[in-house]
Structure 1
Amino acid sequence: MEGNIMEKDLEQIRASVAAHREEILSANDRIHGFAEMAYQEFQSSELLIGLLEENGFQVEKGLADMPTCFLGRWGKGAPVMGILGEFDALECLSQEAGNPEHKPVLEGAPGHGCGHCALGTASLSAAIAVKEYLERNQKSGTVIYFGCPAEEGAGAKQFMARAGLFDDCDFVYTWHPATVNQVSADSNSAIMGATFTFDGITAHAGACPWNGRSALDACELMNVGCNYLREHMEDGQRVHYAYSNAGGSQPNVVPAHASVKYEVRARRVSEVKELFARVVDIAKGAALMTGTKLTYEVSMAFSDFESNRTLAPIVSDCLKEVGAPSWDDEDYALAEKYLRSYDPVTLDHIRQSMAEMFGAENVPEIEKRPLHAGVFAFDPRSGKPQGGSTDVGDVSYAAPTVELNIATACIGNIGHTWQMAGQAGSRIAHKGLLTAAEIMALACVRTMDRTDLIQKAKEEVRRKNGGHYQCPLPDSVKPPIGTY
């Protein structure tokens, strides 16, 4: 009896996703064409808002001080189920959809090199499918689609979490376009970013340098100090910097103004705050040594992320139940062309990664048919810290959150490339995003009646956040609208 009910659930979800297939794929392709940068996703957000309203969702716009941040809500009562959508593009990655040869639509223009056009539309499809399931079966529950801008910029979800938008969610599911099908046990680092500005006194560098106080020297000494700090940093901690103002181009002038931008990463948000404080102390020391004045401004911060260990097995089971996208020979042929588009050195690195993941003996066959047709089961013991960071981490500190990966690109594909941008608007991504929609919607259905697991998942979050979400950003920091 239980097996029949579960099969019926999947049939209903698949029917809903299929019924909205054309409008969802059209939305993906249009957003792929819009290719709008962080905080400027006006056409993309309006398109998604229109689809939400057409499907009966109540929409709230301009949330958390961001014009392109929105949510769509349907239903009433518990559980409250959140689904995250993104839709921002990346600088200089314009690429024709489905073309495995490098051909920008407009040279130098943005493109969807991380596949967020697919991310946003698949999540919308999942939200509609959950809404129709609740409606059809007359069940209590609320589904919320969160329209999250600027993941590739300074982020949005930490501002959304600070505004309390996720506080009522019993759980939140999301996904990301990838090259394999899995619920990963890996973790993403927490990050803090800030610009450090030193103000000194200008002087003639040849005639009277003793009258000057070099802001550039202060930046240099700060960098030296941070490089010496590296020996004393814990494993997994990172410090990166780049000059945003090197003090000008005239070497015969003691520079009075200079700025350096820093990003600091660590495995946990508590650790990143401690490491950032040490970097600030080094900057203060550099100012003291050079007789300059220091000011700094925190511009971005994300909490660390890992999928909720209580709910991840449910999503993984749904992945297994739905299965991988159904690839055909045309899909494999297109994927092979994308794989072959990489230069020989990069391709060798890709082969090494394939060997580590699938076994060296399988690499030649994978190169001919480079699309993942299987699924990897969730294994909490296999999790490894990854170097990157995501604002999904802040959602996970506010509510139980799980992220799914579904193949929308060839095995070995590298993110933030024109190859990824091209595949994001291709038949490969179309199949991947529809599969992701089915899995997320089914996972909501499988979770909604498991009040025991939902409570356990919330306890897991409370252990992590100390009882309530604390934004890593100072209250004074607002979304940097117009800077991307």
Structure 2
Amino acid sequence: MNLQKSELIKWVDNRIGNLSDWHQLIFNHGETAWREYRSSAWYVERLRDEGFNVEQGSGGMPTAFCAEWNNGSGPTIAGYAEYDAVPGNCQAADTIQRPRDGLSPHAGGHTDPHSALGISSLGGFLGAKAVMEKYGIEGRLKFFGEPAEKVRGSKPIHAAKGYYDDLDAAISFHPFYMLPLCNTTRWDTHCGAAYAMIYSFECNSPQTWQGQTGATDSPIVAAHASARAPGANDALVQMYQTSKALKEHMVAAGCGWSMNECILTAGQATADNLPAQIAQIQYILRVPTIEMAQRITGVLDNNAAAAATISHCSWHRDWVSKSRHGLANHSLAQLTYDNLQFVGAPIFNQGKAREIAREIQRNLGLEPMDNPFLAVTEQLISPQAAEIELRKQLPEWQQHFTSDDYTEYCWHAPTVRLYIARPTLAAANAGYRYPDWVMNALGGIRETIEPMIACAAKTIGCTIIDLLIEKDMLAKAKREFEERTGGGVNGSQWQAPLCDYEAPINFRWPEYVTTERGHDWWIPRNDSRST
């Protein structure tokens, strides 16, 4: 089997230039949740060119896809690409802070970076496909396009619509984002549940707002001299402030959880004496348990009702995501980590990557370091050791921490969560923090991100080969899955999909637009603005 793995590693080494080129395309698209049109189209075309059958728009999501490739009978191994960027993080792949050409800093940009996540996973699957063809290894590869991960968007929908029902194993990869989960796999403490929703407030009957003396003589309801109805903006502000004020009363203290919000629509611009007709705010809850998510949602519903009532509005809630907590699989986690050991950790402190990092430090007014990249990014840590370190941050009862919707795969097949180091600079001195643009830039610069892409692709590909050749390894992982779920899918301990909604694509999600002014972010550049 080492022959096949060595062949896969050789394939990645020979194709790293292609993988890096492809990554540059996705990084520079910088498309955000539910609006990843060019990124998704690129993957669909690439996979078709590689011989995959591709369903575009899978699950009713225009920027999702489901690609399949068969090489005779055998297990079905799944993986996926994510490609959504983050609004307000438009950073060029450069050693100075600047947006990508022709855009403002408010445009979308890759932070994690999902651009490299997807290409790394694709590289592993294409490498495995090449080895399967050369050595006659039977099996089926299923590769998904998973949009809108930043709002936990596609995976709950794919799961609920049955796309994961035929999987034998799944491999989830993410660039590392927190220690100690760096060059390792998750062991026991997987990500928790997440609920995301949009609250909409509408003022549809402003004329029924309480009248005032003298106002009835005006032919225009809410004329300039009249006291108009409060309207949707007022409701949104009340919702925002009330939910902030009551946050400490939603969940008992002593566990790691978060609630974040984002205003999608506010009133529509007007200087007239008219009430705002519509305002929308999105919340996302990252919590250890589904029960906590339900409890917080109940509080938010009450807040929305109160805010609407005092602002003369109606309200309703639309789901963006209801994702389950994760499920461990030690067998697959250990197998994948063994392959990471076989491949070796990525190396950043050498060659042009090192010089680029030193240039960034110099541009920030720092003394360039001999080894500018964080030492742990070039070291492995076993999943068991990482688990011990992670548990030091958490109360004993808390079984899940942070949130990512890879957890949806966990309930349909044995699933591993793999973390490979991304380029991260070492602190120049105690307490120093680099500005956010630095990591965003390092994730886009070819020479600094390539070591991660290569390491992840090799590890993923080797794990696929193991699962297809070593039948006992896959059987062991599947037995553990059945034990943890109390009998597999629909077992006594199995958690069914929570998604009972369609893809929330028809909202004012941030996006790029093309007008007579050209192609731009939906918040246009304002080059003439004085500083």
Same fold, TM-score > 0.5, yes or no: yes
- TM-score by length of structure 2 reads 0.74
Change (3 A) 1:370 1:271: same
Match of 1:438 in 2: 458
Change (3 A) 1:196 1:190: farther
Counterpart AA for 2:193: A
Match of 2:381 among 373, 376, 385: 376
Match of 1:334 among 313, 336, 356: 356
Counterpart AA for 1:220: Q
1:194 aligns with 2:177: no
Deviation digits for residues 374-393 of structure 1 (CA, Å, limit 9, x no counterpart): 11111244445787532222
Contact 2:82-2:114 at 8 Å conserved across structures: yes
Deviation at 1:177, TM superposition (A): 2.2
1:271 aligns with 2:292: yes
RMSD: 3.8
Match of 1:37 in 2: 32
Match of 1:104 among 75, 99, 113: 99
Tell me how far apart the structure 2 counterparts of residues 206 and 217 of structure 1 sit (CA, whole Å): 25
Deviation digits for residues 54-95 of structure 1 (CA, Å, limit 9, x no counterpart): 332222222111222223222243311001112222324333
Secondary structure at the counterpart of residue 32 of structure 1: helix
Tell me how far apart the structure 2 counterparts of residues 339 and 303 of structure 1 sit (CA, whole Å): 41
Counterpart AA for 1:43: R
Contact 2:287-2:402 at 8 Å conserved across structures: no
Match of 1:395 in 2: 409
Match of 1:314 in 2: 335
Change (3 A) 1:292 1:9: same
Tell me how far apart the structure 1 counterparts of residues 212 and 137 of structure 2 sit (CA, whole Å): 76
Tell me how far apart the structure 2 counterparts of residues 184 and 228 of structure 1 sit (CA, whole Å): 33
Match of 1:91 in 2: 87
1:220 aligns with 2:244: no
Tell me how far apart the structure 1 counterparts of residues 142 and 496 of structure 2 sit (CA, whole Å): 22
Percent identical pairs in the alignment equals: 19
Match of 1:59 among 54, 59, 71: 54
Give unmatched runs, 5+ long, in structure 2.
Answer: 216-225, 395-399, 428-432, 511-531
Deviation digits for residues 349-383 of structure 1 (CA, Å, limit 9, x no counterpart): xxxxxxxxxxxxxxx87657667221111124444
Deviation at 1:278, TM superposition (A): 3.5
Tell me how far apart the structure 1 counterparts of residues 305 and 290 of structure 2 sit (CA, whole Å): 23
Deviation at 1:147, TM superposition (A): 1.8
Secondary structure at the counterpart of residue 185 of structure 2: coil
Deviation at 1:22, TM superposition (A): 2.8
Deviation at 1:482, TM superposition (A): 6.8
Tell me how far apart the structure 2 counterparts of residues 458 and 464 of structure 1 sit (CA, whole Å): 4
Match of 1:456 in 2: 480
Counterpart AA for 1:82: A
Tell me how far apart the structure 2 counterparts of residues 83 and 59 of structure 1 sit (CA, whole Å): 14
Change (3 A) 1:237 1:331: closer
Between 1:184-193 and 1:139-148, the stretch displaced more is 184-193
Between 1:401-410 and 1:436-445, the stretch displaced more is 401-410
Q: How does 1:94-133 map to 2 (within 5 A)?
A: 94-97=90-93, 99-106=94-101, 107-108=103-104, 109-133=107-131
Match of 1:304 in 2: 325
1:407 aligns with 2:421: yes
Tell me how far apart the structure 2 counterparts of residues 286 and 245 of structure 1 sit (CA, whole Å): 15
Between 1:162-171 and 1:16-25, the stretch displaced more is 16-25
Contact 1:195-1:299 at 8 Å conserved across structures: no
Tell me how far apart the structure 2 counterparts of residues 341 and 315 of structure 1 sit (CA, whole Å): 39
Contact 2:92-2:98 at 8 Å conserved across structures: yes
Deviation at 1:409, TM superposition (A): 1.3
Tell me how far apart the structure 1 counterparts of residues 478 and 335 of structure 2 sit (CA, whole Å): 11
Tell me how far apart the structure 1 counterparts of residues 435 and 39 of structure 2 sit (CA, whole Å): 19
Deviation at 1:242, TM superposition (A): 5.4
Tell me how far apart the structure 2 counterparts of residues 259 and 292 of structure 1 sit (CA, whole Å): 12
Match of 1:472 in 2: 498
Change (3 A) 1:275 1:464: farther
Secondary structure at the counterpart of residue 176 of structure 1: strand
Change (3 A) 1:251 1:399: farther
Q: How does 1:413-424 map to 2 (within 5 A)?
A: 417-424=436-443
Match of 2:515 in 1: none
Deviation at 1:126, TM superposition (A): 0.8
Between 1:176-185 and 1:65-74, the stretch displaced more is 176-185
Tell me how far apart the structure 1 counterparts of residues 285 and 151 of structure 2 sit (CA, whole Å): 16
Deviation digits for residues 194-218 of structure 1 (CA, Å, limit 9, x no counterpart): 3142647545799899996776369
Match of 1:429 among 449, 453, 464: 449
Contact 2:80-2:143 at 8 Å conserved across structures: yes
- TM-score by length of structure 1 reads 0.80
Change (3 A) 1:130 1:206: farther
Secondary structure at the counterpart of residue 380 of structure 2: coil
Deviation digits for residues 112-156 of structure 1 (CA, Å, limit 9, x no counterpart): 222222111111111112222322332331111212222235522
Deviation digits for residues 301-343 of structure 1 (CA, Å, limit 9, x no counterpart): 3333465334211111111111112442432232344456669
Deviation at 1:46, TM superposition (A): 3.1
Between 1:315-324 and 1:214-223, the stretch displaced more is 214-223
Change (3 A) 1:416 1:258: same
Match of 1:182 among 160, 181, 184: 184
Secondary structure at the counterpart of residue 311 of structure 1: helix
Q: Size of the alignment, in residue pairs? A: 460
Contact 1:204-1:254 at 8 Å conserved across structures: no
Contact 1:113-1:415 at 8 Å conserved across structures: no
Match of 2:67 in 1: 72
Contact 2:423-2:442 at 8 Å conserved across structures: yes
Tell me how far apart the structure 2 counterparts of residues 198 and 424 of structure 1 sit (CA, whole Å): 41
